[in-house]
Amino acid sequence: MTTSADLAPDRTSPERSRRALVAGSVGNFIEWYEFGVYGFLATVIAANFFTPDGGGSLEALVKTYVSFALAFFFRPVGAALFGRVGDRIGRRPTLVLVLLLMSGATTLIGLLPTYATVGVAAPVLLTLVRILQGLSAGGEFGGAVSVMTEFAPPGRRGLFGAWQSFTVALGLLGGAGVCAVLGGLLSTEQLSAWGWRVPFLLALPLGLVALWLRLRLEETPSFQRVAEETPAVEAAPLPARRVAAAIALGIGRLMGWSAAGYTFLVVIPAYLQTSLGATFQQALVATVLANVGFAATILPAGRLSDRVGRRPVMLAGTLAIVVLALPLLGVLQDEDGGLAGKGLAVLVAGAVVGLIAGPGPAMLSEMFPTTVRYTGLGLAYSLSNAVFSGSAGLIITALIAATGDVDIPAYYVMATCLVSAVALLTLRGDAHRRALADR
């Protein structure tokens, strides 16, 4: 995007860097914990909010994913709104505001009345709350990644940025763990009647801890430097076409990560239950294993990208998905296959996504200067997620219902990863060595 990046990077103290890492990560954990819970409990939510008789039909599940997708389509709005604020007044106050909105909306889901209580108002209320979550989630990523990478010590930007993706895995694992415990302690009737509310209500104490951490966060050195140079910090006077081109390129580089991440890590539980006849507990175990594989490779991939560059590591991940998607899905579909083989398949699926997700945040941060970084990387990420993550469950479920082809998930991630591989070939080989640009 710009090349004033040859300036010497900021050398912040280890304590400030660690504090920024934790404060940036914690809100992201809550966000993905909730989105994971919503995906894991999709069949229960469908029965409670989208069917008058409480049934869990495929039609109700599709409606649940429409609400899921709608929240994602409001992410770009949140990214533009909060990104603009974050680029003007600072990362810290904006991230505090985003956290309050996110935690409040997630807690509210646990208090909503169901269809049996208020009728058609139930899905309407759920959708409105999901929209608030979409707005807050759109503002979270750009700020969190900006804080992590702008505070990163020299030569560790990939590793620091990878913590954003790592907390995605932790959030999804946390959501899966809570759902698994509830599934083991409660009967199906209890889970459907009231147990599903518990994971959402837990967002309140989590949010209070996150708020305390973010209030202790300092403004980033990059933003402070720009603020000193320009008293009224505004978006850089870069040509709009140039910024838009960078956002479009970022979407292309991310779409495989978005599609594969949600397909393998979130959509699979409902897919296993509705298309392959798995139980709720079996689906959750598969999801936990996928997220363990995902978490295991993220930080090493981010660290490796600091040494060899973002391009080779992310290309390895996208091409591995293209090659492995159908064979891995075939293992899951094999009725005679052993549990160990199926477990290994989902573990590998998560691991290859981690190769993309590790270097991804730093790669995006390096595409935009400080004056538009919060907005630019937030929009690239949220637009990619809106189209290729938020719609993943809806597209896959609807296509399976229409065609009867249970290989649809593999075809979906293969196609998107092929496009990402082409876009990643345009990535500069030395971008990881260059300091972040201010303008």
Domains in the chain: boundaries: 12-232+239-426
pLDDT value for 288: 81
Choice between 386 and 56, residue whose per-residue pLDDT is larger = 386
> Is residue 216 scored above 70 in pLDDT?
yes
pLDDT value for 241: 82
Choice between 353 and 280, residue whose per-residue pLDDT is larger = 353
Rounded mean pLDDT of the chain?
Answer: 84
Q: Are 216 and 96 in contact (CB under 8 A)?
A: no
pLDDT band at residue 4 using 50, 70 and 90 as cut-offs: very low
Cα separation of 185 and 276, whole Å? 24
How far is C-alpha 393 from the chain's CA centre?
Answer: 14
pLDDT band at residue 3 using 50, 70 and 90 as cut-offs: very low
pLDDT band at residue 298 using 50, 70 and 90 as cut-offs: very high
Q: Are 420 and 254 in contact (CB under 8 A)?
A: yes
Q: What is the pTM of this model?
A: 0.84
Share of the chain above pLDDT 90, in %: 42
Residue 127: closest CA among 64, 57, 42, 36? 64
pLDDT value for 7: 41
pLDDT value for 334: 76
pLDDT value for 231: 56
Residue 75: closest CA among 290, 209, 251, 315? 251
Choice between 329 and 158, residue whose per-residue pLDDT is larger = 158
> Is residue 61 scored above 70 in pLDDT?
no
Q: Are 393 and 265 in contact (CB under 8 A)?
A: no
> Is residue 111 scored above 80 in pLDDT?
yes
Task: Over range 124-146, report the average pLDDT.
Answer: 90
pLDDT value for 1: 46
| DSSP characters over 250-284 | HHHHHHHHHHHHHIIIIIHHHHHHHHH---HHHHH
- pLDDT tens digit sequence for 93-109: 999 999 999 999 999 99
Task: Over range 129-142, report the average pLDDT.
Answer: 90
> Is residue 233 scored above 50 in pLDDT?
no
Cα separation of 298 and 356, whole Å? 8
What tokens does 171 get? 């959030």
Choice between 48 and 323, residue whose per-residue pLDDT is larger = 323
> Is residue 140 scored above 80 in pLDDT?
yes
Phi/psi of residue 217, nearest 5 degrees = -75, 140
Task: Over range 276-287, report the average pLDDT.
Answer: 72
Residue 68: closest CA among 1, 134, 150, 12? 134
pLDDT band at residue 398 using 50, 70 and 90 as cut-offs: confident
| DSSP characters over 204-249 | HHHHHHHHHHHHTPPPPHHHHHHHHHSSS-------HHHHHHHHHH
pLDDT value for 42: 75
Task: Over range 177-202, report the average pLDDT.
Answer: 88
- Of 70-74, 77-81, 163-167, 311-315, the range with the lowest mean pLDDT is 70-74
pLDDT band at residue 8 using 50, 70 and 90 as cut-offs: very low
pLDDT band at residue 16 using 50, 70 and 90 as cut-offs: confident
> Which CATH code is given to the segment(s) 12-232+239-426?
1.20.1250.20
